Amino acid sequence: MAKKMTVQEIIFTLEKYWADQGCMLMQAYDNEKGAGTMSPYTFLRAIGPEPWNAAYVEPSRRPADGRYGENPNRLYQHHQFQVLMKPSPANIQELYLGSLRELGIEPLEHDIRFVEDNWENPSMGCAGVGWEVWLDGMEVTQFTYFQVVGELQMDPVAAEVTYGLERLAEYIQNVNSVYDLEWSDGVLYGDIFKEPEYEHSKYAFEESNQDMLLADFDNFESEAKRLIKLGLIHPAYDYVLKCSHTFNLLDARGAVSVTERAGYLHRIRIMAKMIAKAFVEERRKLGFPLIHDEQQRQATVEKYTQAAEKAAARAAKQAKKGEK
Amino acid sequence: MTHSYLLEVGVEEMPAHVVTKSIAQLHQRVANFLKEERIDFAQIQEFATPRRLALLISGLADKQPDVDEEVKGPAKKIALDADGNWTKAAQGFTRGQGVSVDDIEFKAVKGVEYVFVNKHVAGQPVAKVLAKLPDVITAMNFPTLMKWGSFNLQFIRPIRWLVSLLDDQVVPFSILNVTAGRTTQGHRFLGHAIDIATATDYEAALKADFVIADQAKRKALIQEQIHALVAEHDWVLDEDLELLEEVNNLVEWPTAFAGAFDEKYLVLPEEVLITSMRDNQRFFCVRDHAGKLLPHFISVRNGNRDHLDNVIKGNERVLVPRLEDAKFFYEEDQKLSIDQYVARLSKVSFHDQISSMAEKMARTGALAQALGHQLGLSEAELADLQRASAIYKFDLTTQMVGEFAELQGIMGEIYANLAGEKPAVAAAVREHYLPIAAEGDLPTTKLGALLAIADKLDSIYSFFAVGLIPSGSNDPYALRRQAAGIMRILVAQGWHLPILTFQAQAAQAVANLDLRYDYTKNAAQVRTFLLDRIKQFLSDEHLRHDVIDAATDTKVADPVNIVAAAQLLADHQADAGFKDQIEALTRVIRIAQKAPADLPTTVDPAKFVNPSETALHTAVAALAKQADQLSLADLFAKLTALADVITAYFTENMIMDKDEAVKNNRLAQLTLLADLTGRLGNLDQLIVK
């Protein structure tokens, strides 16, 4: 029997496969985040009329899921392999199944199902329709047609495929604990991540400085809002990500009551919405350069410019009304 | 000659729960379309899987029948000028109808002569009509809609192929970028693209390609396979039609298989095991002949038996971390006492504008005691109720419910029993959530029913008080469902409680609890809201609308009485004398409304002028005396029996007499009687013909 793929070989294989399907290979974004969706390569690029095809590994931090390195399947930080294709290709499901074959998972030897699972991230104003993909009963992938991002309706629609790398690797390597996964020849996942898992759990649950985090959240929020006003969308978004992670840390610490929770999520959503809108506007000013068909590009710019002018006129009218 | 037509809409996997409803919807829409288009057909056969909705229409007519229509045009005086020549109006009209002025006839309509022509419309061939089906398909509704690619159509899932086959000929049309043809798709993995030669080949062609397209046949096959496994192992199956329906719509080529898990997990409560297997994995649970859950399960693969070992092993593996987690939580949770969990509830928010969960429990407890006293519960029952309401949300802070939210209440009962609470208290903890769906199970214990009512009432009062009032489709806290639940529980228990006027009393009961909001704010809206749920309840019982309006236009505060009054009126609405009886009584009600509000309702027999006044007075006085003891049915019988006395009264007496004293005396008499009828609602709302 052939040797089982290591985690890094799984990553190589997926990268090669999706690059062959026309995806750009991006790198993990250097800011803490809870999911690959929050990378600007998904959140921002899913928005607006420009095509975008990208794939990347995203380390994703969920402080409340930390288990001190003791639970075989729960992690403070796990890895997602994220694919985003906009507009969603007609054969996206077949493309996905092709990736499983590349990983040695021949559908005829397993039971693969697309089970309804609609995705929502209220704090980022996102919602989509799709499935979780079951491999012999195990959820290995989240498959989503984005419908709303940053409270903006998608047009065109992006399809997002998110593989849970640890789950998938456990299946491929036939081990029951993430810590027993072989990352590369002779080096186990546990060798790399067990101690950080313990320390991050200890930090998130017991040692985090709540007062500092509470103040951080406020500071990050005002910085993000200030930057949005200045039209500095990308640094503003970095601060939104920091807000989100800071909130997650506070939440893990139990420092946020159920009541306050909704309030924090609302504050993040407001910023995500402002950024989404501003990002489209910024791309419009650049002339939507990723639309390579010149005629279509000009038509799209024209359409968005008219919409923007109408919105500006409406805003001016509102402002005038306000003065009266 | 008649035809067969095959329509297939191929989609990416639909959610299991929409498949059956969607094929019924498509069937209905296509049948309506054909009817509107006047295309006869004999039968429509449905096929549905997660990836396809298909209809096979047989006995389809060749074409629409030709029709001769008479079309009305302008009036004669407009159609002809003074010289008797056809005007431009007449010429234009005939041209528009595709005939000539020679075809014009005159016919009188309400005494005025108009132009008429006979138009012959040739029926369209069936293929031409069927080509309009895209509009029928894209008009479909679904519970969730989505867009895909660069298109704007909202549908359940992306449309990937279309088959449109009239006998052996393609009827061309397209939806977005998909053009209809004769090519369908077999099983996603076992099959391939296949061309259908003729419409009636569809089912067999798909079966040869590993798709059982007929839902009923597929379901029967799954059942057969499951029962074979059960028989083979001598198990007893937890029959589960809902799960069977879901599984049926997750597969196109079912193969049932059995798997197992470690016996050590059997220490977990059954509900936990069932949730892990059934809800999370869509497994069927099995038991031994003594009814004990076994460490085995049955699941259904979407494929054949090849490499089935892989599938079994995989499914067995998935269960382990879930059960391991559950076992860990179950053991950990028992290390703390119920009171320790309750203590945490002061930090759990019920709603940020309302209160913590602990405060919510205190209010519910106060309401429950007040209601319990009214129902005449014993001291022991009241004490149990007190304990139940003091702890009933405790399981929300356990790890198990934190992980398996759907086990709230269920774990509460289990942990309460383990901790030595009285079984009645433990049962109430679980039952207070009921009913959890419009037609869901109701609490079966007295304590559970009472706690359920108190908990729901408090939620309604509180949300209304802080202004979070349901409107339109916006009811995020499911207050309508909760109010409907209260009504169903009251009726099921037969409890006579003044729920519609209870709010003020409830406010007194919670007066010392330091509320941040006014508990009786928007009380009028609460009353209307609760009354609306009674109306809905009666409407669900298929009572006539005027009966519902009559029974709910009332000062009666007891929902069970209102429901009984409605049912009573409904039972009698077909009686022979009903019309006369109700007319007599409503005449009383209408005139009584003219009485000044401050009119004393004492009747002075000394002021009587006619014997009919004495007769009515005696009858009403007797009835008023017994009214509280009478059943609604008896009250109704006695009221309707007064019809003749009332008729005589109106015949002999002028109510609005010139003598003010006589007039007021009569108005008082009628008001007394009208008030008695008010126990049944407002009879004036009944429509009697």
- Among the partner-chain residues B152, B307, B317, the one whose CB lies closest to the CB of A109 is B307
CATH code of the domain occupying B3-63+126-207: 3.30.70
Residue-averaged pLDDT of chain B: 94
Between chains, do A110 and B311 touch, taking CB under 8 Å as contact?
Answer: yes
For position B1, what pLDDT does the model report? 81
A-B Cβ pairs (cutoff 8 Å, strict): 109
Across the interface, do B303 and A259 touch by the CB < 8 Å criterion? no
Q: Tell me the chain B residues in contact with residue A262 when contact means C-beta distances shorter than 8 Å.
A: 352
| Per-residue pLDDT reduced to its tens digit, A56-86 | 999 999 999 998 998 888 899 999 999 999 9
Decide: B215 and B18 in contact? Cβ < 8 Å.
Answer: no
Residues of A in contact with B299 (CB under 8 A): 137
In chain B, what is the greatest distance between 2 CA atoms, to the nearest angstrom? 108
Hey, are the CB atoms on B149 and A88 less than 8 Å from each other?
A: yes
Give the pair of three-digit tokens for residue A296: 């279509």
User: Å from A111 to nearest chain B CA?
Assistant: 6
Burial group, residue A108, by CB count within 10 angstroms (0-12, 13-18, 19+): exposed
- Residues from chain A contacting residue B144 (CB–CB below 8 Å): 118, 129
Do the Cβ atoms of B152 and A155 come within 8 Å?
yes
Model pLDDT, residue B96: 87
- Is B349 an interface residue toward A (CB < 8 Å)? yes
H-helix segments, B300-422:
308-333, 338-344, 357-374, 379-391, 399-403, 410-418
Q: Which CATH class is domain A209-323?
A: mainly alpha
Q: Is B310 on the interface with A (CB under 8 A)?
A: yes
pLDDT reported for residue A258: 58
Determine contact, residues B348/B396, Cβ cutoff 8 Å: yes
Cβ pair A138:B317 closer than 8 A: yes
Mean pLDDT of B628-638: 92
According to DSSP, the residues that pair with B302 across neighbouring strands are B254
The position carrying tokens 């083979």 is B232
pLDDT at B156 over 70: yes
Residue with tokens 């003598």: B659
**Do B48 and B54 touch, CB atoms closer than 8 A?**
yes
Nearest C-alpha of chain B: how many angstroms from A229?
31
Q: Which residues of A touch B (CB under 8 A)?
A: 71-73, 87-90, 93, 107-116, 118, 129, 131, 135-138, 145, 147, 154-157, 159, 171, 176, 257-260, 262-263
Please judge whether B16 and A115 are an interchain contact, meaning their C-beta atoms are less than 8 angstroms apart.
Answer: yes
CB-based contact (8 Å) between B143 and chain A? no
What number is the average pLDDT over the span B88-117?
89
pLDDT over 70 at A324, yes or no:
no
Task: Measure B369 CA to nearest chain A CA, in Å.
Answer: 28
Give the C-alpha separation, B372 to B447, whole Å.
9
Model confidence band, residue B647 (pLDDT cutoffs 50, 70, 90) = very high
The SS3 of residue B46 is strand
CB count within 10 Å of CB A313 equals 10
Judge: A118–B299 Cβ closer than 8 Å, yes or no. no
**B355 to chain A, closest Cα gap in Å:** 9
Cβ contacts (< 8 Å) between B321 and chain A: which residues? 72-73, 176
Please tell me which residue, B477 or A1, carries the higher pLDDT value.
B477
Q: Are B450 and B424 contacting, i.e. CB atoms less than 8 angstroms apart?
A: no
H runs (alpha helix) in B541-600:
545-552, 559-572, 578-592
Å from B255 to nearest chain A CA? 10
Q: Which residues of A229-244 are buried (b: 16+ CB within 10 A; e: fewer)?
A: eeebbeebbbbbbbbb
Listed in sequence order, the residues at least 6 apart from B376 whose beta carbon sits closer than 8 Å to its beta carbon are none
Domain range A7-206, CATH class: alpha beta
Contact A113 B302 (CB under 8 A): yes
Per-residue pLDDT averaged across B553-564, rounded?
94
* H/E stretch holding A311: helix A294-323
pLDDT-derived band at A1 (thresholds 50, 70, 90) equals: very low
Kindly provide the ipTM of the predicted complex, given to two decimals.
0.94
**pLDDT above 70 covers what percent of chain B?**
100
Nearest CA in chain A to B351: A259
Q: How many CB atoms neighbour CB B16 within 10 A?
A: 19
- CATH 1.20.58.180 domain extents, chain A: 209-323
pLDDT above 50 (res A185): yes
Residue A104 Rama label (left phi>0; alpha psi -120 to 50; beta)? left
Domain(s) labelled CATH 3.30.930.10 in chain A stretch across 7-206
**What's the pLDDT at A151?**
92
For residue range A3-20, what is the model confidence (pLDDT) as tens digits? 789 999 999 999 999 999
Tokens representing A28? 């993990």
- Weakest-pLDDT range from A24-28, B258-262, B329-333, B375-379: B329-333
List the 270-289 stretch of B: residues with Cβ below 8 A of A: 281
> How many whole angstroms separate alpha carbon B222 and alpha carbon B254?
6
> φ and ψ at B220, to 5 degrees?
-60, -40
Say what the pLDDT of residue B316 is: 94
Q: Which residues of B touch A114 (CB under 8 A)?
A: 12-13, 50
Over residues A244-271, the mean pLDDT reads: 84
DSSP A156: S
Pick from A249, A251, A254: nearest CA to A203: A249
Question: Who's near B324: CB < 8 A, 6+ residues apart?
Answer: none
**pLDDT score recorded for residue A259:** 56
- Residue spans of the domains in chain B: they are 3-63+126-207, 67-121, 216-333, 352-359+381-540, 560-685
Nearest to A86 by CA among A41, A31, A29, A142: A41
Please say if the pLDDT value at position B618 is more than 70: yes
Rounded CA gap, B289 and B237, in Å? 10
B160-169 pLDDT tens trace: 999 999 999 9
CA-closest candidate to residue B371, choices B428, B444, B446, B427 = B446
pLDDT of B44 reads 98
Asked if residues A234 and A275 have their Cβ atoms less than 8 Å apart, the reply is: no
Closest CA to A43 of A296, A278, A287: A278
CA distance B422 to B424: 5
Over residues B583-607, the pLDDT tens digits come to 999 999 999 988 888 888 789 999 8
H/E element, B114: strand B112-121
∠ CA A121-A122-A123, nearest 5°, is: 95
pLDDT interval class at B347 (50, 70, 90): confident
- The rounded percent of chain A whose pLDDT value lies above 70 is 98
Question: Once rounded to an integer, what is the mean pLDDT over residues B666-685?
Answer: 93
- A48 → chain B, closest CA residue: B150
Mean pLDDT of chain A: 93
Angstroms from B483 CA to nearest CA on chain A: 24
Confirm if B233 and B294 have CB atoms less than 8 A apart. Answer: no
Output helix, strand, coil percentages for chain A, rounded to the nearest 5. Answer: 50, 20, 30
Closest residue to A157, CB basis, from B147, B303, B315:
B147
Q: How far is CA A106 from the centre of its chain?
A: 28
Residue A290 has pLDDT above 50, yes or no: yes
Task: Inform me whether the pLDDT recorded for B315 exceeds 50.
Answer: yes
Closest residue in A to B328 (Cα) is A71
Token duo for residue B634: 């008896």
Q: What are φ and ψ of residue A182, in 5° steps?
A: -90, 115
Number of neighbours of residue B369 by Cβ within 10 angstroms: 18
Q: Which tens digits make up the pLDDT trace of A100-138?
A: 999 999 999 999 999 999 998 888 999 999 999 999 999
Give the per-residue pLDDT at A220.
97
Pick from B150, B302, B321: CB nearest A111: B302
Query: Global pTM?
Result: 0.80
If pLDDT is split at 50, 70 and 90, which confidence band does A2 have? low
H/E element, B443: none
Report which residue type is found at B383: A
Whether residues B311 and A259 touch (CB distance < 8 A) is answered with no
Q: Is residue A238 pLDDT above 90, yes or no?
A: yes
